[in-house]
Amino acid sequence: MRELTAVTLPTTMRALRQTSLRGPQDMRSITDAPVPSPGPGEVLIRVAAAGVNFADVSQAHGAFGNGPRPPYLAGFEGAGEVVAIGDGVGDPRPGTCVTGVGYGAFAEYMVLPARAVLPVPPGWTAEQALGLAVNWPTALAAVKILGRIAAGETVLIHAAAGATGQAAVTLAKHYGATVIAAAAPAKHEIVRALGADHVVDSRSDRLAAEVLACTDGGADLVLECVGGDTFDASLRAAKRITGRVVVFGLPGGEAALTNWDLVYRHQIQLLGVNIGVLAEAAPRLFGALMAELGALLTAGVVRPGTPGTHDLADGPKVLAELENRTTIGKLALLP
C-alpha cells in the first residue's frame, strides 16, 4: 500500500456497525473500527460524504440479495479524497476526489475498487457527486438503456420524489416523455417542479385506474421499485404487449407472478435489473450507460446533487426515516 506522503493515516476510526438483522435500530456508532487497507487494485478514500440508499435499509433487515452478514460496517456509497492506493493502481492518483461503491461507507475511511470509481466532476464537492454511482446509473438503466423510452411515450415513475425517482423524472423529461409521478401527496410539489406532467398518490388503491384514465391504454414504461400490492397495480397500468415494466426494488415486499398471468392477465414486457449485476454481467451495455451519463453531465442534464446532510452518528435515525417514507431526495451522512 502506498500512502499520500503528506498524510499520516490513523489506525482506528469512527463508523456505524450493523449488529443484527433487526434493521437500522441495531446500527451502532463505534470509534474503534480499524482503518481498512487497500488491497491490489483498490484505493482508500477519506470519506467526505456517504450516500444513504434504500439498499442500506434492506441490508439492515437481511433482505438484500447477497448482502453482508452482521456484524459489518454499514453503508456502501462514498465520496472523498484518495489517500492511499493498493498495488497495481495507476489511476486514480492520491489526492484525487472520487465517488464509488464498496463496503463500509458509513465511516471515516473506506476502500473502493480503483477500476470502478468515478472522478468527482470539476467544480463539484464530494457531497454533490453522491448519486453518480448508484441513483443516476439505475435511473438511466430503467428509463433508457433497458426501458427504451422514446419521445412522446408515457412513463409511470414510482417513488418519484426519492433519490432514484427524481433522477428518473429528470431523465424521462429530458428524453421527451410524459411523466406520471407516484409519490406521497406531501411530495407532489417536488415532482411537479421537476417537470412531472401528472401526479398520483403512491398509496392510492386507484393508482392503476388513474394511470389508465390519463393514457391511451396504459403507460409505455413503468419503473417498478415498490413491490407488494403495488406490483400488480404496476402491471395493470402498463400498456398491453408493447408496455415495459422495469423492476428494480421491493420495499413493499415480494409479489408473485405466474406464466398464466403473463399469458392471460398481464401481456407486458418484464425486465429486472440490479445496477451492480448490470455492470458485471453486461460490461458493454454498462459502458454505453456510463458514456451516456457522461454526455448528460456535459450537457448539464445531470447537475450537482443537493443531498440532505446529517451527522454520521444520526445514521440509524436517517435510515429509519427512509424506511418510514418521510424523506425526500438524496440523503448523505458526513463523518
Ligand X SMILES: NC(=O)c1ccc[n+]([C@@H]2O[C@H](COP(=O)([O-])OP(=O)(O)OC[C@H]3O[C@@H](n4cnc5c(N)ncnc54)[C@H](OP(=O)(O)O)[C@@H]3O)[C@@H](O)[C@H]2O)c1
**Binding footprint of ligand X on the chain (CB under 6 A):** 53-55, 134-135, 138, 159, 161-165, 183-184, 187, 202, 225-226, 248-249, 251-252, 273-275, 322-323, 325, 327
Nearer to ligand X (CB atom), residue 109 or residue 231: 231
Cβ–Cβ contacts within 10 Å for residue 204, how many? Answer: 13
Verify cis geometry, omega within 30 degrees of 0, for the bond prior to 335. Answer: no
Nearer to ligand X (CB atom), residue 36 or residue 138: 138
Nearer to ligand X (CB atom), residue 92 or residue 249: 249
Supply the minimum distance, in Å, between the C-beta of residue 183 and ligand X: 4
Nearer to ligand X (CB atom), residue 236 or residue 325: 325
Write the single-letter amino acid at 28: R
Supply the minimum distance, in Å, between the C-beta of residue 187 and ligand X: 5
Supply the minimum distance, in Å, between the C-beta of residue 77 and ligand X: 10
Secondary structure, 3-state, 197-264: CEEEECCCCCHHHHHHHCCCCCECEEEECCCCHHHHHHHHHECCCCCEEEECCCCCCCCCCCHHHHHH
Supply the minimum distance, in Å, between the C-beta of residue 142 and ligand X: 8
Supply the minimum distance, in Å, between the C-beta of residue 79 and ligand X: 16
> How far from 143 is each of 135, 147, 164, 295, CA to CA, in Å?
12, 5, 11, 16
Q: Which residue is at the shortest CB distance from ligand X?
A: 162
The alpha-helical segments, DSSP class H, found in 34-122 are 54-60
Nearer to ligand X (CB atom), residue 262 or residue 328: 328
Cell numbers standing for residue 123: 467544480
